Amino acid sequence: MPRPASGRRLLPGFGLSLGCTLVYLSLLILLPLAGLAFKASELSLAQWWAIATSERALASYRVTFGASLLAAMINAFFGLIVAWILVRYPFPGKRVVDSLVDLPFALPTAVAGITLATLYAGNGWIGRHLEPLGVKVAFTPLGIVVALTFIGLPFVVRTLQPVIEDIEPEIEEAAAMLGASRWQTFTRVLLPALFPALLTGFTLAFSRSIGEYGSVIFIAGNLPLISEITPLLIIAKLEQYDVVGATALAVVMLIISFVMLLAVNALQWWAASRLHRRSGSADERR
């Protein structure tokens, strides 16, 4: 029986599947994004810069980035704890809790938005107890942080969980044998091992938060210069039939998206190569 020479593709369907993929992606993603660039080219660079750096736009970047950064930091801290207890500690109802972590992925953002706004309003279940303490959450920038914390929650937990599961017990045992306290083992051994994944989860949550719209607008109050996020400013411009202004801001957002995507890819590559190096050196020792 004739055997195909090595290097020849044995499996069928390469041309068909790659062709379908490329056509679908081109029509649905590349061509439309090219359309945005085409529309934006009606603007001169100076005009674009003037819109992109107008006072209201700059304020919206500050709100968007500030709230996203804060929310991602909250998620990095609590996400590490949640991932740790989900992997290491036994407790009743763990499977339900574990499934529930994905709720922000499954719950439509508009539902999250109106619910959080209602919970944190002055007469809401949570807001009622915060208002007497002088803490106003709903309809302030703090509300945006709350909404973005909800949205970004699964990213850190789900990135960390498999990495914590994969930590070899030998590493911790070795540290303990060498006289390290539990805190030293954590800060010197565990945290460095978890750091790439933690940073990846942080970046994913941050990147998702920057573009988030549905969950934020209900709780934000949406005051220009104070609690207006950039996606909302784009909508505001569209509602005033300022398509050019909206396009200019969309280009800014799109550039940020590309940068974030590259950052996430670089981080994942770094994390994978670090992991690879570790297991590689472990093999050598054997």
What residues between 183 and 202 interact with other proteins by CB under 8 A? 184-185
Decide whether 53 or 181 has the Cβ nearer to other proteins: 181
H-helix segments, 11-92? 14-25, 31-40, 45-52, 55-88
Residue 61 in tokens: 């970047």
Residue 207 contacts other proteins per CB under 8 A: yes
C-alpha–C-alpha distance, residues 177 and 187, integer Å:
16
Residue 210 contacts other proteins per CB under 8 A: yes
The correct pick among 43, 63, 76, 116 for binding other proteins (CB under 8 A) is 116
Quickly tell me which residue has 């070899």 as its tokens: 168
Q: Which residues contact 59 (CB under 8 A, 6 or more apart)?
A: 224, 225, 226, 228
Residues 139-178 that bind other proteins (CB under 8 A): 149-150, 153, 172-173, 175-177
Residue 17 contacts other proteins per CB under 8 A: yes
Residue 207: which of 251, 147, 141, 155 has the closest Cα? Answer: 155
Smallest separation (angstroms) from other proteins to the CB of 274: 18
Smallest separation (angstroms) from other proteins to the CB of 225: 19
- Is 144 within 8 Å of 161 (Cβ atoms)? no
Residue 36 in tokens: 């945005």
Residue 25 contacts other proteins per CB under 8 A: yes
Residue 101 contacts other proteins per CB under 8 A: yes
Binding mask 245-274 toward other proteins (x if CB under 8 A, else -) reads -xx--x--xx--xx-xx--xx---------
Decide whether 54 or 180 has the Cβ nearer to other proteins: 180
Decide whether 119 or 274 has the Cβ nearer to other proteins: 119
Distances in whole angstroms, Cα of residue 17 to Cα of each of 12, 65, 79, 222: 9, 39, 38, 45
Residue 89 contacts other proteins per CB under 8 A: yes
Smallest separation (angstroms) from other proteins to the CB of 176: 4
C-alpha–C-alpha distance, residues 178 and 172, integer Å:
10
